[in-house]
Amino acid sequence: MSELFITHALRTPIGTAGKAFREVTAAELGAVVLSELADRVAGEVEDVVLGNCMGPGGNVARVAALTAGLADHIPALTVDRQCASGLAAIQLAAANLAASAAPGQGTPPAAPPPSTGGVVLAGGLESASTAPWRFWPPVGDAEPKRYERAPFAPADRDPEMGAAADALAELYGITRERQDAYAARSHERAASAQADGAFDDEIVPIAGHTTDERIRRGLTAQRLAKLPAVFRPDGTVTVGNSCGINDGAAVVALSTTGPGLRVLAAASAGVDPTLPGLGIVPAVQRLLARAGLTSEQIDVWEFNEAFAGQVLACCDVLGLDDELVCRQGGALALGHPWGASGAVLAVRLFSQLITQQNGRYGVAAIAAGGGQGTAILVEACR
Q: Give me the pLDDT at residue 339, please.
A: 98
Lowest mean pLDDT among 40-44, 77-81, 85-89, 278-282: 40-44
Output the pLDDT for position 103.
64
**Per-residue confidence at 83, pLDDT binned at 50, 70, 90?**
very high
Would you place residue 104 in the very low, low, confident or very high pLDDT band (cuts 50, 70, 90)?
low
In this predicted structure, what is the pLDDT of residue 113? 43
In this predicted structure, the answer to whether residue 22 has a pLDDT above a threshold of 80 is yes
- Catalytic residue, candidates 83, 243, 315, 326: 83
Mean pLDDT of the chain: 95
Tens digit of each residue's pLDDT (9 = 90 or more) over 309-330: 999 999 999 999 999 999 999 9
Respond yes or no: is residue 73 known to be catalytic: no
The residue ranking higher by pLDDT, 284 or 148, is 284
Q: Which residue has the higher pLDDT, 107 or 351?
A: 351
Q: Give the tens place of pLDDT for each residue, 112-141.
A: 444 445 899 999 999 999 999 999 998 999
Grouping H, G, I as helix, E, B as strand and the rest as coil, residue 45 is strand
What is the spatial distance between Cα 51 and Cα 84, in angstroms, rounded to a whole number?
8
pLDDT at residue 118, rounded to an integer: 86
* Residue range 329-372, pLDDT digits in tens: 999 999 999 999 999 999 999 999 999 999 999 999 999 999 99
Show Cβ contacts of residue 332 under 8 Å, excluding neighbours closer than 6 positions.
182, 183, 186, 187, 241, 242, 243, 305, 308
Q: Could you read off the pLDDT of 206-222 as tens digits, one per residue?
A: 989 999 999 999 999 99
Residue 186 predicted with pLDDT over 50: yes
Find the mean pLDDT for residues 81-105: 89
Residue 180 has pLDDT above 70, yes or no: yes
- Close Cβ partners of 73 (under 8 Å, ≥ 6 residues apart): none
- CA angle, 147 then 149 then 152, to 5°: 130
Q: Tell me the C-alpha distance between 314 and 39, whole Å.
A: 39
Q: Say which amino acid occupies 109.
A: P
First to last CA, the chain: 19
209 is catalytic: no
- Measured CA to CA, the distance from residue 219 to residue 364 in angstroms comes to 26
Contact status, residue 104 vs residue 78, Cβ threshold 8 Å: no
DSSP secondary structure string for all residues of 111-149: SPPPP--EEEEEEEEEETTTPPPEEPPP-TTSPPPEE-S
Angstrom distance (rounded) from CA 313 to CA 80 = 25
CA angle, residues 323, 51, 39, in degrees to nearest 5: 95
pLDDT of the residue at 116:
47
Angle between helices 161-171 and 308-318 (to 10 degrees): 40
Over residues 221-245, mean pLDDT: 97
Q: Which of 8, 243, 314, 336 is catalytic?
A: 336
Whole-angstrom distance, CA of residue 130 vs CA of residue 331: 20
**What's the one-letter identity of residue 357?**
Q
Domains and CATH numbers, the chain: 5-106+115-130+244-381 (3.40.47.10)
The pLDDT of residue 1 is above 60: no
Confidence of residue 2 (pLDDT cuts 50, 70, 90): low
Q: Give the H or E element holding residue 208.
A: none
| Bridge pairing between strands 76-79 and 44-51 | parallel
Asked whether the predicted pLDDT for residue 99 surpasses 70, the reply is: yes
Tell me what pLDDT residue 43 has: 87
Q: What pLDDT score does 112 carry? A: 43
Q: 124 near 250, Cβ under 8 Å?
A: yes
